[in-house]
Amino acid sequence: MHRLLPIALVVIGLAVVVVSLMGPAPEGRCLATPRTPGDSVAFAQVERKTALAATVHYRDGLDLDVRLAPQRIVSTLPGITEMLAHLGALDRLVGRSPWCDTPSTVTVLPAVSVQPLSAEELLALEPDLVVLDRRLHRQDLDAVMRHVPHVLLLETSSSLGQLGASFTLLADVLDDERAREAARGWNAHRVELQQAVQILHRSPPPRVLLVGQWEPLFALGPGSLLDDVLATLGAVNVACDLSTDASGVFSDELALARKPDWILGPGDPMPQRLHSLLSTTPAVQEGRVLPVVGVDAFARGGPRILDATALLARRMLGYGERPDDAPGEGEPR
């Protein structure tokens, strides 16, 4: 036993040296600087085969055959429905998810089960295109793609850049020049907003806690669309080291220790227990707790996310602020 002790001490000493050479722990590094916003490089390309048929080539090697200029489209997410409306293709929509309610005219259309996705209900609508989000629907993709012949996969839930690429891909499959122009306009607005707020980035960057639900405390981390919005604003997500996919349980103690300057949470008020626990954080002391996560414009991954991002930039960075500027009707206060 005594012979092992010197060896153990040497191992511990080497570990200390290695850690010191590596620098701060990953947690410390990710809290020190904002994340880089997601790129806007196209994740898929459309290769036209005939006047009405094309193959969508995805960057990871997946190929999907789709019909160009589809006339019977089923949307499986509210954000996708709003994208179709923005691109001027709402008249092609024949089915929707139960949560698709904007614009209100879509509520007369049949709703299909999406948790889980029902291939039978999708096929009953005789669609020539079903539009899904690749990450949000990943558990059902294999089953749906085995039975539904024409499926388009978008990436609407990870970053503003990938949402912009989804606009472009959807417009190309719609094969309509007005839709392409609308997609280009949305992306131009995105770039303009991102460039405008970049000059307002602050040092040190604002520290933000994104809360998906209050009890138990559930935070949104890297990989979520709102995390990318924070990166665009030059803010630090205090849940940047979450190991789960975009979200996960976050301890009360960690939320207190990270001292957020802002808390962006659900629409319902913060429970009194949490309010008392976090009462010493700048966010609570300065009244910077905003109902954001449950607001459709922020949560749906559709065209309105740019207006929502501009609103956050206005509140957090003073973007477009006038001396007499005050929140408008319906804005977080």
The pTM score is 0.85
Per-residue model confidence (pLDDT) at position 294 = 67
Q: What is the pLDDT of residue 38?
A: 84
Full domain range(s) for residue 164 = 44-195
pLDDT the model gives residue 20: 33
57 and 121 fall within a common domain:
yes
Q: Are 241 and 26 in contact (CB under 8 A)?
A: yes
Q: Considering 195, 220, 236, which residue would you say is the last residue of a domain?
A: 195
Q: Report yes or no on 241 lying in a domain.
A: yes
Is 62 part of a structural domain of the chain? yes
**Is residue 273 a contact partner of residue 262, using CB atoms and an 8 Å limit?**
no
State the CATH number of the domain containing residue 188. 3.40.50.1980
Q: Mean pLDDT, consecutive 10-residue segments, the chain of 333 residues? A: 38 33 48 83 94 96 96 97 98 97 96 90 96 90 89 94 96 97 97 94 93 93 92 94 83 95 93 96 96 81 94 90 42 41
> How many residues are recorded in the chain?
333
**49 in any annotated domain:** yes
**Judgement on whether residues 185 and 312 belong to the same structural domain of the protein:** no
Please check whether residues 190 and 214 belong to one and the same domain: no
The sign of the dihedral angle between the CA atoms of 98, 155, 188, 51 is negative
Q: Would 3 be classed as within a structural domain?
A: no
pLDDT for the residue numbered 331: 45
SS3 state at 180:
helix
**pLDDT score for 321:** 61
Final residue of a structural domain among 164, 195, 226 = 195
The confidence score (pLDDT) of residue 28 equals 55
Does residue 181 sit in the same domain as residue 232? no
Pairing state between β 151-154 and 218-220:
unpaired
| Whether residue 211 sits in one domain with residue 162 | no
Q: Do residues 234 and 185 both lie within one domain?
A: no
